Amino acid sequence: MNLEILPIRTAGAAENMANDFLLLQRYPRAEAVRFRHYGWHRPAFTFGYSQKIEFVRGQLPPGQPFDLCRRPTGGGVVDHRDDWTYALVIPRGHPLEDLRATQSYREVHEALAAALRGLGVPAVTKPAKDPDEAPAGVCFQRAEIYDVVHETTGEKIAGAAQKRNKRGLLFQGSIWRPAAGATVDWEALGEAFATKLALTLKLEPTVTPWPDINEEEVGGLVEQYSSPEWNEAR
């Protein structure tokens, strides 16, 4: 089994979310794990599948234009205006997909923390849950267990959200660039992270073309993810 490293794509929020979901739901590869880093055409925020739209609106900056989209995964509100975003699609049958959510979260974030340390960032995973800790509604306001944090200050560097279904596991992650530091070589980080992931998952990293996804299907899901019915459903 390989770790297929897909080409970098830049798109709007709804298209980014649609591509991630389709890679899991309609185009998984039983013999490969897929990893992709992607960018954003415009300033964007995404928020968790189960979050209430009234809460989300209260966390957004007033008077500024940006894309807003509900993710297919859980988690809190994520500001993508200065982050490094990635997705990992793990098919049914891979050992990581069989783990409990907290453990798959830990495995991926341990690989990311190791990649950051290799580039001089003192990154570790948060080892324990705080007493009476509730899930954070906004991603980078507070670190939760197994988030990537700064070893000295405890500031949150990276978080993620997951979705499991009968096809496998979708892992959507975000690294907050200011917390990682101004000197990080982000191209080098992408390569280092993929290498560490391959070691963790016991896979061979392979640069792979974008899969042949039906563009009409992408367009239909983009339309759904752009609609008030999707974004304001809760």
The 10s digit of each residue's pLDDT in 16-55 is 999 999 999 998 888 899 999 999 999 999 999 999 999 9
- Alpha-carbon distance 166 to 125, whole Å? 29
State yes or no: pLDDT of 75 exceeds 80. Answer: yes
| The pLDDT of residue 192 | 98
Overall average pLDDT of the 211-234 stretch: 94
Other beta carbons within 10 angstroms of residue 116's beta carbon come to 25
Give the per-residue pLDDT at 138: 81
**pLDDT, mean of residues 210-222:** 94
Distance CA(205)–CA(208), nearest Å, equals 9
Position 136 pLDDT exceeds 80: no
Phi, psi (5° rounding) for residue 53? -65, -30
CB 141 within 8 A of CB 105: no
Whether pLDDT at 96 is above 60:
yes
Q: How far is CA 121 from CA 17, 114, 144, 182, in A?
A: 29, 9, 19, 10
Which helix H or strand E contains 108, and what residues bound it? helix 101-118
pLDDT above 90: percentage of residues in the chain: 86
Look up residue 106 and give its amino acid: R
By CB atoms closer than 10 A (0-12, 13-18, 19+), residue 27 is: middle
Q: Tell me the CA end-to-end span of the chain in Å, nearest whole number.
A: 39
Burial class (CB in 10 A: 0-12, 13-18, 19+), 82: exposed
Q: Is the pLDDT of residue 190 over 60?
A: yes
Q: What is the pLDDT of residue 63?
A: 86
Residue-level pLDDT at 18: 97
Q: Domain limits at 217?
A: 2-228
Collapsing DSSP states into helix, strand and coil, what is residue 24?
helix
Report the number of distinct structural domains present in the chain.
1
Give me the mean pLDDT over the 121-138 stretch.
79
Residue 135: predicted pLDDT: 62
Choice between 135 and 70, residue whose per-residue pLDDT is larger: 70
The arithmetic mean of pLDDT across residues 88-94, rounded, is 94
CATH of the domain at 122: 3.30.930.10
Residue 185 binned pLDDT confidence (cut-offs 50, 70, 90): very high
Mean pLDDT of all residues in 106-118: 98
Structural domain includes residue 233: no
* Residues 54/234, Cβ–Cβ less than 8 Å: no
Question: Given this model, what pLDDT does residue 131 score?
Answer: 59
Residue 211 domain-assigned?
Answer: yes
Q: Indicate the pLDDT class of residue 156, thresholds 50, 70 and 90.
A: very high
- CB atoms near residue 30 (< 10 Å): 11
User: Given this model, what pLDDT does residue 134 score?
Assistant: 57
- CA–CA distance, 78 with 72 (Å, rounded to integer): 13
Q: List the Cα angle 160/7/138 in 5-degree steps.
A: 20
- What mean pLDDT is reported for the chain? 94
Tokens of 110: 């341990």
